[in-house]
Amino acid sequence: MTQDRYPLTHKFLMGRARHHLDDREKGLLEESIVEVQRCPSAHVVLERGDVIERSTLLIDGFIGRVIFENGQRHIVALHVPGDFVDLHAYALKRLDHNVVAIGPVRVGYIPHTRIDELMNTEPHLSRMLWFSTLLDASIHRQWILKLEQLSADGRLAHILAEMWTRLDFVGLAETGGFALPLTQAELADACGATSIHMNRVIRKLREAELADVSRGRVTFLNRESLMNLAGFESSYLYGEGTLKYL
């Protein structure tokens, strides 16, 4: 089983187009994780402005990209197991935001010197890593669009639909819902709303029999209608179709 052979990277390997990697390449990626760390909820995994010499793979749990501006917290991205949360920092060396654990997490680190080696000797594997950063950018664009297009209930519905889809890619979603340890305040910060407004939005989705969000879990009452409210169309997640590979 993939999980037995690649215990640290198997969720990454379950994601989009990873089947194009052969066993040797999968082994190289697994061996590149030189340190594993468990972090408690709210732990700042990476801080804005710090010089970064390694990239972080989320093995278990959820992570948010967080910007603090004018005394307010803004969650500008969410990550699920199998995501590299800072691979773009390989080129940038610094982040313009914090990377924060949402609930307990387990992360693995790959030194940038190791990524240098892979870039120089493994073009196919390097392309898969590059794809991960491009997928992050696609998700960012969609979040910006939905923040502009939708009301708060539609924005929450979109986040729930997206998170279910991304978790489904890595075998962590169920037909009826999924675990999501975001607090009401964190959901508000991800949707550009206040906590009081988010309370009303969550109640609205429940009363409309679309979804129940409570105690760290999302339970779908009518997933299709929820996705319709969100205007959710999953092509920006690139779950299907061909990719360039050698």
What pTM did the predictor assign? 0.95
Using one digit for the tens of pLDDT, what is the confidence trace for 174-229? 999 999 999 999 999 999 999 999 999 999 999 999 999 998 999 999 999 999 99
The pLDDT confidence band at residue 144, using thresholds 50, 70 and 90, is very high
- Virtual torsion, Cα 64, 146, 177, 105, nearest 10 deg: -10
CA distance 229 to 173: 20
CB 98 within 8 A of CB 46: yes
Q: Is 96 helix (H, G, I), strand (E, B) or coil?
A: coil
Confidence at residue 16, expressed as pLDDT on a 0 to 100 scale = 62
CA distance 98 to 44: 7
> Could you tell me which of 39, 113, 100 has the C-alpha nearest to residue 67?
100
State which CATH number among 1.10.8.60, 3.60.150.10, 1.10.10.10, 3.50.50.60 fits the domain covering 151-230: 1.10.10.10
- Cα 54 from chain centroid (whole Å): 18
CA distance 72 to 206: 27
**Which class for 158: exposed (0-12), middle (13-18), buried (19 or more C-beta within 10 A)?**
buried
Q: What's the CATH fold of domain 2-122?
A: Jelly Rolls (2.60.120)
Name the segment(s) of the chain with CATH classification 2.60.120.10: 2-122
Name the segment(s) of the chain with CATH classification 1.10.10.10: 151-230
Confidence at residue 79, expressed as pLDDT on a 0 to 100 scale = 97
Helices (H) and strands (E) in the chain, counts: 10, 8
DSSP annotation of 211: E
The pLDDT confidence band at residue 246, using thresholds 50, 70 and 90, is very low
> Stretch 150-162: mean pLDDT, rounded?
97
CA distance 20 to 13: 10
Q: Is 110 helix (H, G, I), strand (E, B) or coil?
A: strand
Tokens 């240098």 -> residue? 116
CB 183 within 8 A of CB 73: no
